[in-house]
Amino acid sequence: MGLINEIKNKNLESRKNKDKFVSGVLTTLIGEINVVGKNDGNRETTDKEAIKVIQKFLKGVKEMKSLYEKMDDLNNNENDKLDLLNKEIEIYENLLPNSLNNEELKEIINNIIKENNLSGMKSMGVIMKILKEKYEGSYDGKNASSVVKEVLK
C-alpha cells in the first residue's frame, strides 16, 4: 500500500471515529497532495511528491509552534493552540518514512564516495544528487549537507 492510500485510510478511520481534528488535518493534506499531480499534467501524485508536501506542512507547523513558544505569557487559549500544533506535528511525523540518522547517512555517503571514486569538496554536488535520487524523503537536506562536508574534510 502506498503512502497516499495510507493517508486516505487514516482519514477515513478518523472520520469514523469522529476525530474532527485529525480528519481536518488529513483532509487538507490529501487535498494539497492531489493538487501536485493535477497541476503537473492532471496525473496521480507520487509518494515522493506526497512526502515533500508532508515535509512542507511539518516545517510550517514547527515554525508556528516555535513562534508560540517564544511568547512569554501564554494564556489558556494559546496553550490549547500549542497542544494542537504538537498533535499536528505528531500526525505528520507518523506519516513520514523513518529518517536516516547521522551514522546511517555517513555510511551511505562513504559508500557513494567509494562506488563513484569521488574526493574533495568539488564532489559534494554529485554526492547530494545521488543521495536525492536514491534516498529522497528519508533525510533532512541541511543535515545531509553538513554530514557530506564533514565526511569530505
152 confidence band (pLDDT: 50, 70, 90) = confident
DSSP-derived secondary structure letter, 137: T
Domains annotated on the chain, with CATH: 3-95 (1.10.1510.10), 102-152 (1.10.10)
Q: In this predicted structure, what is the pLDDT of residue 129?
A: 92
Cβ of 33: how many Cβ atoms within 10 Å? 23
Q: In this predicted structure, what is the pLDDT of residue 72?
A: 66
Query: Residue 7 is placed in which grid cell?
Result: 493517508
Q: What H or E segment, with its residue span, contains residue 128?
A: helix 124-135
Query: Residue 38 is placed in which grid cell?
Result: 493535477
The rounded distance, in Å, linking the Cα atoms of 7 and 132 is: 23
Q: In this predicted structure, what is the pLDDT of residue 76?
A: 66
Q: In this predicted structure, what is the pLDDT of residue 17?
A: 96
User: What average pLDDT does the segment 31-49 reach?
Assistant: 91
Nearest Cα residue to 2 out of 50, 35, 39: 50
Say if residue 3's pLDDT is above 70.
yes
